Amino acid sequence: MSSKILDVFLKENLEDLKQKGLYNTIDPLESPNGPIITINGRNLVNLSSNNYLGLATDERLKEAAIAGVKKYGTGAGAVRTINGTLKIHLELEEKLAAFKKTEAAIAYQSGFNCNMAAISAVMDKNDAILSDELNHASIIDGCRLSRSKIIRFNHSDMEDLRARAKEAKESGQFNKIMVITDGVFSMDGDIAKLPEIVEIAEEFDLITYVDDAHGSGVLGDGAGTVKHFGLSDRIDFQIGTLSKAIGVVGGYVAGKQSLIDWLKVRSRPFLFSTSLTPADVAACIKAIEILTESTELNKKLWENADYLKVGLKKLGFNIGHSETPITPCIIGDEVKTQEFSKRLNDEGVYAKSIVFPTVPKGTGRVRNMPSAAHTTEMLDRALAVYEKVGKEMGLIG
C-alpha cells in the first residue's frame, strides 16, 4: 500500500503548481535537437537548445561515438577509481586541460554533478562562499552540500562583493573563502566581471571558481570566459559542461595538477558514480579536436547571433543587455510572455518562455539561443514570425 502522506503531499503540491501556471509541460522531440526540430509532426525553427555550435548532430561526433562503442562497449562498467577509467577518459582530460590552458582536468558525468562534486570536495563547514545571486542552481546546491556559510552578493556588483569579502576576511571566522560565479549568466547573457573578481580575490586571498557552462565554445575563440579575459593562470577552478557547445554530455574542472589530484581522491561523484560512457567520451574528444583545430563554428555562431539580435532590435523588441549569443526578448508580464511563446510555436518557431521564479517578477522573456547550425533562411523565417506575432499581440508597432 502506498503512503497516504505522500499521496496528499503530491496531490496538493501538483495542483498548486498547475493553478499558478508553474507546472512545466514537456514537448518530446521526434528529431535530433538541431536548428530545425520536429514536435507533434510539425517542423519548427529551434531557438531553445544549448547546442551552440551544432555539434550535437555533427557527423564527425556521431562517427566517433560509434567507434567508441565498437571499441569499448556501451558502458564504462565501474566508477573511475575501481576500473571504470578507460584510456579515452584520460585522453579527454588531457585534451580539456590543453583546451583550457591549465595543468590538468577531471571529467564528471554532467555539469550539475561537477558542481556538486567540486565545491564540496574543497569547502567545508569552517569555510565561506561568496556567491553571485544569479548563479546556476547546481552551484547553489553544490554550495549547500559543502555546509560552508553562503554569502550571496548582488548580481555582478563588485562593490558589494568587495564589502562582503572584506567583512568575511576580517571576521576571522573562516578557514577558507571562495568566490563563485557563472562565467556567462544564462538568463540575460551577460558576462561576469572576472578581471575585477580576480583583483578582489587576490586582495582577500579568495579561492576563485568560474562555472563557464555558457561561455565555453562561445567566448575567447571557444576556450571560454577566462581565456576571453586572459586570466587562465589567475582562476583556480574553471568549470565547464560537455552538454552545451560540446554537444554531448558531461562536465569538467580544469585547474592546477594538485587541485585535480585532490578532486580525484575526494570528489564523491568521481568515487561513487559510474564514469562517462565510451560513446560520450569519444564524441567529446572529437568535439575538442574540432574546436582546437578551427574557430570556424565559433565565428558562425557569433555571425548568427548578431544577425538575430539586429533583426529583433529592428523590429522593436527589447533584447536586454546580452553580451553573448543568448538573446532574451523581454516581454515583462508573465501571462503575455507565455502567450507569446505559444503563438510563436503555432507559427513555426520554438522559443521557450522564461518567467518568475526563474527570472524576477515582471521580467518574463522568450529566450532565443541561436547556433552555428542555423542558416540565414531559418533566422529570416524566425524573424518573420516574430514580426507577425509581435504585431498581432501589440508588442511592437
Q: Choose one: 26-34, 109-117, 201-209, 378-386; the region binding ligand PMP (CB under 6 A).
A: 109-117
Of 186, 238, 337, 371, the residue at the interface with ligand PMP (CB under 6 A) is: 186
Minimum distance from residue 140 beta carbon to ligand PMP (Å):
10
Distance of alpha carbon 237 from alpha carbon 242, whole angstroms: 16
User: How many CB atoms are closer than 10 A to CB 261?
Assistant: 13
String of DSSP letters for 20-35: TT--------SS-SSS
* 141-144 own/partner pairs: CB under 8 Å, 24+ apart: 141/112, 141/115, 141/116, 142/115, 142/116, 142/117, 142/118, 143/119, 143/180
Of 213, 290, 379, 382, the residue at the interface with ligand PMP (CB under 6 A) is: 213
Q: Choose one: 99-107, 111-119, 149-157, 311-319; the region binding ligand PMP (CB under 6 A).
A: 111-119
At position 41, the amino acid (one-letter code) is G
Of 49, 131, 243, 322, the residue at the interface with ligand PMP (CB under 6 A) is: 243
Active site residue 186: yes
Contact 240, 199 (CB under 8 A): no
Which listed residue (89, 136, 228, 244) is catalytic? 244
Active site residue 214: yes
Residue number, 110 or 208, with CB nearest to ligand PMP: 110
Q: Choose one: 211-219, 308-316, 333-341, 366-374; the region binding ligand PMP (CB under 6 A).
A: 211-219
- In terms of Cα–Cα distance, which of 139, 138, 131 is closest to 160? 131
Q: In what order do the strands lie in the sheet with 327-332?
A: 327-332, 364-368, 353-354
Q: Which x/- pattern over 12-51 shows residues binding ligand PMP (rule: CB under 6 A)?
A: ----------------------------------------
Collapsing DSSP to helix, strand or coil, 296 comes out as: helix
Residues known to be catalytic: 186, 214, 244
- Residue ranges that bind ligand PMP, judged by CB under 6 A: 110-112, 115, 136, 138, 182, 186, 211, 213-214, 241, 243, 251
